[in-house]
Structure 1
Amino acid sequence: MIYVTRDLLTVLRERAASEDPDEVNLRLSATPAGEFETDLGLDPETPVVTHFTLPSVGGSVSSVFGVDLGTPAGEGGARFVSHPDGFLGVSRTDDLAGVVFVAVPPYDEDSVAAFDRSGDGVELAVVDAVPPTESVPE
């Protein structure tokens, strides 16, 4: 089972709809359940997908040095892709990750599914919680 916050899933679906007929491909990252201010009823180490990284983050460094600095170390174990053609599954052209979220038109709650890297379905659990506030050290 993979856990994702409702707010993130809403933003991802809205982005897919706004980019249609183009595909969306975003790197996702998770926050351990124990770091949420509210008790989610999950083991504290359980990852909950909470954030996405814009494709352009770290792009200029990557294009010069070939190193992906856009993803924080240890993050990016999941991806979100949209398939405007309506295929609700992992395709050969998708960037793979440990878990791949796929959305198809009409991009509503019933139009999203999760898969492992081999394309097998993974149960998706939507969590109604806000991730902890993050800040950059001064």
Structure 2
Amino acid sequence: MPDETTAVGDENAAGAEPTPDRAADEEEEVAEAGQRRVHATRGLVDLLLDMAEDAEPTSMNLVLAPTPAGEFDEDLGLDPETPVLTHFYMAEAGQSVSAVFGMDLGTPAGRGRARFLTHPQGPFELTERDDLAAVVLLAVPPWERRTLAAFDRAGRKLELVVLDAEPPQEELG
């Protein structure tokens, strides 16, 4: 069932430093949700690593979104409220409006408390230049699971659990 690996990641959606209250709330959410664990589907992890390899030498910065474990068709063996990273949003979406009004319209409301970042030239740790979120998945070459890790906003490494599970089908409208 779950294949445990390590992961990196935390950026905020707007790229600005979070307010202390918001940062504390998000870190508390992460701690409560997984006791220092981050869950992601194998499909998402594989896709992110493939995209990172294709984008090299350009770095990537994507907003990640979860699906509650209870919404999956199969029992994941997790609390139904446990967030499982399943989707990403392109950072460019809504960028022109964001530049003018300072609002992130590329990410649906209530989504995006996690980010996927790449450091094509290293280092394999969060830096002061990174956009932070409650959880950050960070990848470096050679773009394999062993070079993917999860971090909290403070740069502390979290356990990344990769699940062999398909997210539920979403319907439009």
Please list every run of at least 4 consecutive aligned residues from structure 1 whose deviation after the TM superposition is greater than 6 angstroms: none
* 1:59 alignment partner AA: Q
Deviates more, 1:90-99 or 1:53-62: 53-62
What is the total number of aligned residue pairs between the two structures? 137
| 2:149 alignment partner, SS class | strand
Provide TM-score, normalisation by structure 2.
0.76
Greater relative contact order (Cα < 8 A, sep 6+):
2
Gaps (5+ residues) in structure 2?
A: 1-36
Residue of structure 1 in register with 2:43 after alignment: 7
| 1:132 alignment partner, SS class | coil
Gaps (5+ residues) in structure 1?
A: none
Deviations 1:67-124 (A, max 9, x none): 2111111110000000111311111111000011000000011110000000000000
Q: CA deviation at 1:126?
A: 0.2
| 1:16 alignment partner, SS class | helix
Provide TM-score, normalisation by structure 1.
0.95
Residue of structure 2 in register with 1:109 after alignment: 145
| 1:18 alignment partner, SS class | helix
- Give runs of aligned pairs for residues 1-138 of structure 1, distance below 5 A: 1-137=37-173
| 2:108 alignment partner, SS class | coil
Identity percentage of aligned residues = 53
Instruction: Quote the Cα distance in structure 1 between the aligned partners of 2:103 and 2:117.
Output: 22
Q: Which has the larger share of helix? A: 2
Instruction: Quote the Cα distance in structure 2 between the aligned partners of 1:11 and 1:35.
Output: 21
Instruction: Quote the Cα distance in structure 1 between the aligned partners of 2:171 and 2:101.
Output: 28
| 2:63 alignment partner, SS class | strand
Q: CA deviation at 1:65?
A: 2.7
State the superposition RMSD in angstroms: 1.0
